[in-house]
Amino acid sequence: MFPRFLDVPPDPCIIIILGASGDLTSRKLIPELFSLHRKGGLPERFQIVGCARSPMTTEQFRTALADSLHNVTDETQGWEQFSTRIHYRELIYDSGESYTELAGFLQELDADHRTEGNRIFYLALPMFLYGTTAQLLGEAGLSSQKSGGTGWSRIVVEKPYGSDRASAAELDTTIHRYFDEKQIFRIDHYLAKETVQNLLMFRFANAIFEPLWNRNYIDHVDIIACESLGVEKRAGYYEKSGVFRDMFQNHMMQLLALTAMEPPNRFETDPVHDEKVKVFRSLRPISEDGVFENVVLGQYGPGMVNGKKVRGYRDEDGVDPQSLTPTYGSMRVFIDNWRWKDVPFYLTSGKRLASKLTRISIRFKDVPVSMFGGVLEEGITANVLTLGIHPEERITLKFQTKNPGSKVCLRSVTMDFNYLQGYAGTVLAAYEKALLDCMHGDRMLFWHSEGIDLTWEFIEPVINQCEMCSDRVERLKPYEAGSWGPAEAAELKSRMG
């Protein structure tokens, strides 16, 4: 008997995690697979193989994962039984022989556990290893979809997908040599968040919002994804990436597409993907000379976050003390189509901000004429619809009412819907949902090749200008950790009047 959140049980399979000694595996992948197991969402015939260079036995691997699990959750009942499904294999990432040995081991597991030759290869590795790994998996015969209806092979690729348009295209060419597009799952865990998925339901399953969802009624849109965390242990990656590669090319572009896209004719992978791609194609290009008309950059200094003193970015371990890497970006984007022409979308993301917050706010236009002109002391505040993704999974609508009493004065009130209100069923965390979709072969919540290329094409001139302009030092505005970013970000909006 399968739980209600599963319409169809996933096929038996083995998930092979490459780079399994790393942070992502211990902090996200294993805890969320374990959580799926506890919810009854995994197939009965299911095995996990962790692979990495670090010398370790399966027992040591299981112990290390159990220790990490305790840092993530108190709910560890059932771990002993679950951990018997976990195995560890040493793997040299650039050695063909190592992959041949892995192929042999997977065959043995298939025979022992009747996993039917179905495999998911999860690349939890630094990006520079993605191409080599895909190639050697292919050369070891591990990418082939066997005929006869059994035995599928899928590859999950983590972000970042390339560091610019050319490297993303090169990676695509390499992976496509061995895996078809339908076998490739480019993960963006933002897309698997319940409230992000809810955006499409909210827009297209209600008749009252869509007629207003355009340039005639909407003044501007704010999309914000802020973190209170700093760079943590990922300085090596972040120093090269910065906020635009880390957040804008992927998560911010997806949130933008879901907010702006036309209704797909069916709620299926290809129609949804096609509508997103049309948004990416309609993005007004930002020329290199126009970048600083539309972009504000920042880098966090020391400050207080959640009552604790924290270091500035340049003092973090592994960061160059002279670093010019932006940890904050705010960007004005236009979509040149009939629905959105000249409506600014402000995209903002940064580290070490006042709190962790992700939300989309739709600010409607002011009323055209106020009949209260001579009576009210203040103007009328515009309506704002806010789609909260984190921490508050809620939808709110701000509107005006009369204040009780004899004096004519307005007050803003908020209609408020909490996403989990009235729901007592299972909720899946983002990686749980993404892993489950991958087991089902459902690619709707994953990036497709064309979207990756178009978003890199759009963002690349911005990154180039930010990294190569002659006044780079002056362009990078310092902000205090625990604040809401550099004061200059507010100017982006005031420039529009």
Ligand X SMILES: NC(=O)c1ccc[n+]([C@@H]2O[C@H](COP(=O)([O-])OP(=O)(O)OC[C@H]3O[C@@H](n4cnc5c(N)ncnc54)[C@H](OP(=O)(O)O)[C@@H]3O)[C@@H](O)[C@H]2O)c1
- Residues within the interface to ligand X (CB under 6 A): 19, 21-25, 52-54, 93, 124-127, 158-160, 237
Cβ 63 to ligand X, closest distance in Å? Answer: 16
> Buried b / exposed e across 160-180, counting CB within 10 Å, b at 16+?
bbbbbbebbeebbebbeebbe
Cβ 229 to ligand X, closest distance in Å? Answer: 10
9 vs 22 by CB, closer to ligand X? 22
> Buried b / exposed e across 232-270, counting CB within 10 Å, b at 16+?
eeebeebbebbbbbbbbbbbbbbbbbbbbbeebeeeebe
Backbone φ, ψ for residue 48 (5° rounding): -125, 130
Cβ 50 to ligand X, closest distance in Å? Answer: 10
State the catalytic residue, choosing from 220, 251, 273, 448: 251
> Does residue 236 contact residue 360 with C-beta atoms inside 8 Å?
no
Cβ 239 to ligand X, closest distance in Å? Answer: 13
159 vs 186 by CB, closer to ligand X? 159
> Does residue 259 contact residue 199 with C-beta atoms inside 8 Å?
yes
179 vs 190 by CB, closer to ligand X? 190
113 vs 390 by CB, closer to ligand X? 390
Q: Is 251 a catalytic residue?
A: yes
- Which residue has its beta carbon closest to ligand X? 22
Residue with tokens 């972040």: 238
- Cα 238 to Cα 243: distance, rounded to the nearest angstrom: 8
Cβ 237 to ligand X, closest distance in Å? Answer: 6
187 vs 291 by CB, closer to ligand X? 187
Cβ 17 to ligand X, closest distance in Å? Answer: 9
Cβ 119 to ligand X, closest distance in Å? Answer: 19
At position 423, the amino acid (one-letter code) is Y
> Does residue 55 contact residue 22 with C-beta atoms inside 8 Å?
no
Both tokens of 465, joined, read 């200008």
Q: Which of 363, 327, 344, 250 has the alpha carbon at shortest distance from 483?
A: 327
187 vs 436 by CB, closer to ligand X? 187
> Does residue 224 contact residue 358 with C-beta atoms inside 8 Å?
yes
232 vs 293 by CB, closer to ligand X? 232
Both tokens of 195, joined, read 């409230």
> Does residue 95 contact residue 57 with C-beta atoms inside 8 Å?
no
User: Which residues are identified as catalytic?
Assistant: 251
